[in-house]
Amino acid sequence: MIEHILLWQFTEQAKAEGAAEKLAYLQRRFAALPGRIEGLHRLRLLPNVNGGPYDLALIAEFDSMEAIRRYQQHPLHLDIQQTAKSWVTGRACVDVEMP
């Protein structure tokens, strides 16, 4: 099992236009992906409650790195990515193998 952890920072414009609404929209979209993309078991998009440079954490569980690659190229994910790219700026990502 691979845990995929992505951190995002909202742009100042996205914050000014309603970060909470954008987060809720993205949460709904991401919640629809498990069961529709092979190898993706669980996906959560959560707000950072600890401060710091990142506003959001996406935490997803996949069968394998190959499943992550399928997810990254899947049309449903690409559609969300297209929407989100104008709302987010800073990004950090790690993939860790779970015991």
User: Dihedral of CA 31/34/37/40: which sign?
Assistant: positive
User: How would you classify the pairing of strands 88-97 and 56-62?
Assistant: unpaired
pLDDT tens for 12-68 read: 999 999 999 999 999 999 999 999 999 999 999 999 999 899 999 999 999 999 999
Angle at 1 between CA 36 and CA 31, to 5 degrees: 30
On the question of pLDDT at 99 being above 90, the answer is no
Two tokens, residue 93: 């990502």
**pTM of structure:** 0.90
Instruction: Say how far apart CA 98 and CA 3 lie, in whole Å.
Output: 7
Helix, strand, coil shares of the chain, percent, nearest 5, are 40, 35, 25
